[in-house]
Amino acid sequence: MADYDRLRGLSGQSMGGPKGKTTECGQYTRPGSYTFTAPNPGQYKFVLWGGGGAGSGSNGAGGSGAYCEYTRTLGGGEQVALVLGAKALTGAGVASTATFADGKVVSAGGGAAGSGTSGGAGGTASGGDVNLSGSAGGGSSTAGTNGGGTAGGTGAPALATAGGGGGAPANTPYFGGNGAGNDGASNAIAGTTPGGGGYGGATASIQAGSTGAIFVQLVKPQV
């Protein structure tokens, strides 16, 4: 969580939920499968970003991952299966998901990869109270589009012949990752997490997308 605080000034609430004090119960920033166990009964919010897509070798940039948030009541000790979507080294980013005991699935899809000189599409979200699609990566010599929501990341500019990656959507105060840009040679602008798309460039300079993220908050304890 410290890295995200330093980069984006994240705090423990978002636009779609209550504005009172919340308690961070889990921050997942490395790809993999996890089990979240509710420490106490109450309302919990799950905030997810999908991984960003990779750029192509012909200047098409990857799209950004989707954003999703979902709040529901959990009993103490109730478990939720989480999968944190990886960035794409090549190809599409991986979805981040939360699967509940009753079979409910919340998903923030990964961004598509750039294809040739065309940018990849943003990922799509489903199952949440808030579902925001990722944004498209730039094509050859065009910038990536900015992320949606109220605090979406910024699409990278096109430098020389490289397209920029799209920024992931988000809600205040969570910021989606900015897209990564490249000048087609070695002057890379690194994308920021979570969920930004990767730049396109020369084959040797393809940029991966950014990894997604999952945050879990206790919004309202049961009394």
Model confidence at 77: pLDDT above 60: yes
Model confidence at 76: pLDDT above 90: yes
CA separation for the pair 3, 24 (Å, rounded): 15
Cα-to-chain-centroid distance, residue 70: 15
The closest alpha carbon to 44, from 34, 36, 55, belongs to: 36
Average pLDDT of the chain is: 78
Helix (H) or strand (E) holding 7: helix 2-8
pTM comes to 0.83
User: What's the first-to-final CA gap in the chain, in angstroms?
Assistant: 28
Higher pLDDT, 5 or 209: 209
Whether the upstream peptide bond of residue 173 has omega within 30° of 0, thus cis, is yes
Higher pLDDT, 123 or 209: 123
User: Which of left, alpha, beta for 134 (phi over 0: left; psi -120 to 50: alpha)?
Assistant: beta
State which of 46-50, 80-84, 141-145 shows the largest mean pLDDT.
80-84
Cross-strand bridge partners of residue 49 = 67, 213
Model confidence at 22: pLDDT above 80: no
Higher pLDDT, 198 or 106: 106
- The two tokens of residue 135 are 């944004």
Higher pLDDT, 130 or 178: 130
The closest alpha carbon to 49, from 134, 112, 119, belongs to: 134
Model confidence at 184: pLDDT above 50: no
CA separation for the pair 80, 38 (Å, rounded): 8
Q: Which tens digit of pLDDT belongs to each residue from 78-130?
A: 999 999 988 777 888 899 999 999 999 999 999 898 888 888 899 999 999 99
Q: What does the pLDDT read at residue 18?
A: 43
